Amino acid sequence: MTETIFQVQNVVKIYKTGAGGFTALKGVSFDVQKGEFLGIIGKSGAGKTTLLNMLSGVSQITSGKVLFTPQTQNKKNGDSKLLSIGEMSQDELSVWRGHNMGIVYQSFELLPQLNLVDNIMLPQEFAGKYQAGVSRERALALLDIVELSEHANKLPAHISGGQKQRVAIARALVNDPSVIVADEPTGSLDTVTANVIFDIFAKLVDQGKTVIMVTHDMDLAERFSRTLLISDGELVDELHHGPEESAVEDEAAVPIIADNGHTGPLLANLQTSATHDISKPAVSLKQVVKTYVNAAGSFTALKGVDLEIEYGQFVAIVGKSGSGKSTLLNMLTGIDHPTSGHVEMGGEDIYSLSESKRALWRGKNVGIVFQFFQLLPTLTLLENTILPMDYCNVYPYNERPKRAMELLKMVGLEDHIYDLPANVSNGQQQAAAIARSIATDPSIIVADEPTGNLDSRSADVVIRVFQELADLGKTILLVTHDPSLTSRVDRTVIISDGEIIEPIVASTLPSLDHPQMLHATHKVEKRIYDPGEVIIRQGEPVDYFYMVGDGEVEIMGEGETAVSTLTTHEFFGEVELMGKGTAVAAVRAGCKPTKVALLPKDEFFKIMNDSPETSAQIMKVAAERRAENQARRQLEVA
């Protein structure tokens, strides 16, 4: 028999702003059952977060009721009175939330002066449940659940945004609440970590907890026990999930950033006139180190990074939470100073400039899309988009509004041009930030997780915009934790623990995890072979696993004839290392210089032992090559 824990009765929420009233919820009614995993899904601006705030008493209800069934009733005394959330005082709400609700906000809100353990214990202090040893032990156990136990004593400044969000989830669980509400808790996490979070929520539901999660991602619908679809402040459908319901289409899945009904170029009308010196790279980093120092000690976020990127490339900078992606971005944009090393953007030594000159250089040459859009709240979306043009004094004054309107139209905001940021959704604010980033026609655009808060269709349009900008000669640097985006870029740079992973390793052995790739990066030796130069002689010992970078190599048969050719992402030497240890055939460089990465024999076997997936991949190729070699020898004998 199910028990109703929340009753939402005809709830209306109207926000009062300088521009008038805005109705975010329009008479919403539904119940929440104890022990269910409820998803609330809708596009940005649909009213999801407002609805979550009504349930948790964070925002005042305009009209209607939210009733909560206490889970610690004194049933012996017959105390079964429902609590009306909207009728409780702020003090009563604070106590009620502390005992009954675990809340995970979209922005994690950790106290910067407390380490992670102390941040997690904080709700216990507010609820009067704090016990020094017990509370600390529970906090450490929760950090282990979200896979951050090794960072327990770090300050929030020493971990990434994604890691901070996982700490916030652990903090929400510390008082053992009966209800957990989560606003986009996986929006800034990599796929693996997001699955860990989902698994945590599923286990909590199995233990009798009630989990209510807000998301814009329709693809997640089937992972909830029940889903409410919300659009324009109203509930439009309710889904009880089975396999056949996973592909439901609804207006709630309409993208935030529309493609205006056509599949052709989105930027066909974009006027671009920026010029740059193509004899110099767009980006050049040499031995860049960044160390943060504060009262808790020092933490090195970047460890001697070398990176060069040419104009017109669309490059993804990929890494797990805490790998150093955002720190690298800050070095590229001149927002933060490297501790040591050299940074050039478009041939300009940006850290030789004064702060004011660097800010002006950045405004003209680099478009930036931050993870948290950074729009000025007192300006309309149109005025926010015009602002960079005013600051850098580019384009005639009377042409700036027209250009800004065109840019906002390209990202589907033509109906919101005169709205303030507070009157549009987070996703729409992010779309406006993208329009603003290209307002001055910069040659380089840097985007930090620009699709993190967007539904999949809107994210697709954003990537299309970036692809078209790259086709126009712009250099796009996309910082992301989403590996699925790498198939749509020209080049992928992987960063792990503050270091760039060797591209040859990453492309040849993609099934290794990032720490394994980084270990291999430290161990490989890179060599460039001249055209026709012998790499391996037949019958001689083979002590390395070879990975082909640029160029190609030829496998030689009898009579100095090439019997096969290997190119980028392919490898050789595995047959010999797993066999007799001597070369079964000679190998030489092709008709142009060839870059090869050599991994020592002991490190090769370490990889085979530590990564079963990689081992299976290599053994399959080795078996196929042995069979081909045997068949070729039989033909030669015949």
Of the pLDDT bands very low, low, confident and very high (cuts 50, 70, 90), residue 76 is: very low
Cβ count within 10 A of residue 491: 13
Instruction: With beta carbons less than 8 A apart as the criterion, state whether 5 and 85 touch.
Output: no
Eight-class DSSP state of 265: -
Instruction: With beta carbons less than 8 A apart as the criterion, state whether 289 and 341 touch.
Output: yes
Domain count, the chain: 3
| Same domain, residue pair 336 and 459 | yes
456 within a domain of the structure (yes/no): yes
Per-residue pLDDT at 9 exceeds 90: yes
475 within a domain of the structure (yes/no): yes
Range from 121-135, 416-430, 523-537, 601-615 carrying the lowest mean pLDDT: 121-135
Angle between helices 381-392 and 355-365 (to 10 degrees): 120
Distance CA(57)–CA(318), nearest Å, equals 38
Q: For 57-184, where are the alpha helices, taking DSSP H only?
A: 90-100, 116-126, 132-145, 161-173
Predicted pLDDT at 506: 93
Give the strand order in the sheet containing 491-496. Answer: 366-369, 444-448, 475-480, 314-318, 491-496, 499-500
Per-residue pLDDT at 284 exceeds 90: yes
pLDDT in tens, 31-48: 999 999 999 998 877 888
Of the pLDDT bands very low, low, confident and very high (cuts 50, 70, 90), residue 195 is: confident
Predicted pLDDT at 410: 80
Instruction: With beta carbons less than 8 A apart as the criterion, state whether 550 and 594 touch.
Output: yes
Helix, coil or strand: residue 352: helix
pLDDT in tens, 366-417: 888 876 667 888 889 999 999 888 888 888 989 999 999 988 888 778 889 9
322 within a domain of the structure (yes/no): yes
Cα 403–chain centre separation:
30
Give the strand order in the sheet containing 553-556. Answer: 534-536, 587-589, 553-556, 562-566
Range from 72-81, 298-307, 355-364, 572-581 carrying the lowest mean pLDDT: 72-81
| Same domain, residue pair 448 and 531 | no
pLDDT in tens, 221-248: 888 999 999 988 999 988 876 444 433 3
Per-residue pLDDT at 551 exceeds 70: yes
Q: CB-side exposure of 208: number of CA atoms within 13 Å? A: 5
Predicted pLDDT at 255: 45
Per-residue pLDDT at 202 exceeds 60: yes
| Same domain, residue pair 196 and 292 | no
Distance CA(428)–CA(453), nearest Å, equals 10
What's the chain's length in residues?
638
Per-residue pLDDT at 517 exceeds 60: yes
Distance CA(161)–CA(158), nearest Å, equals 10
Of the pLDDT bands very low, low, confident and very high (cuts 50, 70, 90), residue 587 is: very high
Eight-class DSSP state of 496: E
Q: Rounded to 5 degrees, what angle do the CA atoms 148, 149, 152 make?
A: 95
| Same domain, residue pair 495 and 533 | no
Q: How far is CA 630 from CA 94, 122, 149, 247, 564, in A?
A: 75, 68, 52, 49, 14
Q: How far is CA 571 from CA 279, 347, 407, 621, 627, in A?
A: 33, 36, 46, 9, 17
| Same domain, residue pair 187 and 297 | no
Of the pLDDT bands very low, low, confident and very high (cuts 50, 70, 90), residue 429 is: confident
262 within a domain of the structure (yes/no): no
Question: What is the average pLDDT score of the chain?
Answer: 83
Cα–Cα nearest to 8, from 212, 310, 258, 260: 212
Contacts of 486 (CB under 8 A, 6+ apart): 316, 318, 492
Helix, coil or strand: residue 12: strand
Give this prediction's pTM. 0.64
Predicted pLDDT at 212: 94
State both tokens at 111: 């106290």
Q: What percent of the chain has pLDDT over 70?
A: 86
* Sign of the torsion formed by the C-alpha atoms of 266, 269, 270 and 273: positive
Per-residue pLDDT at 350 exceeds 90: no
Instruction: With beta carbons less than 8 A apart as the criterion, state whether 583 and 539 touch.
Output: yes
The CATH code of the domain that includes 577 is 2.60.120.10
253 within a domain of the structure (yes/no): no
Distance CA(35)–CA(48), nearest Å, equals 21
| Same domain, residue pair 237 and 333 | no
* CB-count burial class (<10 Å; 0-12, 13-18, 19+) for 220: middle
Per-residue pLDDT at 191 exceeds 70: no
Domain residues for 554?
Answer: 523-637
378 within a domain of the structure (yes/no): yes
| Same domain, residue pair 192 and 71 | yes
| Same domain, residue pair 35 and 84 | yes
261 within a domain of the structure (yes/no): no
Predicted pLDDT at 275: 60
Instruction: With beta carbons less than 8 A apart as the criterion, state whether 624 and 616 touch.
Output: no
Taking only Cα atoms into account, the Rg of the chain, rounded to an integer number of angstroms, comes to 28
514 within a domain of the structure (yes/no): no
State both tokens at 414: 């033509």
Predicted pLDDT at 368: 83
Predicted pLDDT at 73: 45
The CATH code of the domain that includes 447 is 3.40.50.300
| Same domain, residue pair 384 and 429 | yes
Over range 189-201, report the average pLDDT: 71
Give the strand order in the sheet containing 234-240. Answer: 101-104, 179-183, 210-215, 37-41, 226-231, 234-240
Predicted pLDDT at 287: 95
Where residue 207 falls (left for φ over 0; alpha for ψ -120 to 50; beta otherwise) is alpha
| Same domain, residue pair 337 and 457 | yes
Eight-class DSSP state of 541: B
Over range 561-586, report the average pLDDT: 89
More confident site: 521 or 197: 521
| Same domain, residue pair 45 and 171 | yes
| Same domain, residue pair 291 and 416 | yes
Predicted pLDDT at 78: 46
Distance CA(442)–CA(476), nearest Å, equals 10
Distance CA(615)–CA(324), nearest Å, equals 29
Instruction: With beta carbons less than 8 A apart as the criterion, state whether 295 and 338 touch.
Output: no
End of a domain among 218, 246, 274? Answer: 246
3-class SS shares of the chain: helix, strand, coil, % to 5: 40, 25, 35
Cα–Cα nearest to 461, from 107, 43, 106: 43
Buried b (16+ CB within 10 A) or exposed e, 345-359: bbebebeeeeeeebe
Per-residue pLDDT at 189 exceeds 70: no
Beta strand pairing call for 37-41 and 210-215: parallel
Distance CA(517)–CA(494), nearest Å, equals 9
More confident site: 103 or 243: 103
Distance CA(366)–CA(345), nearest Å, equals 9
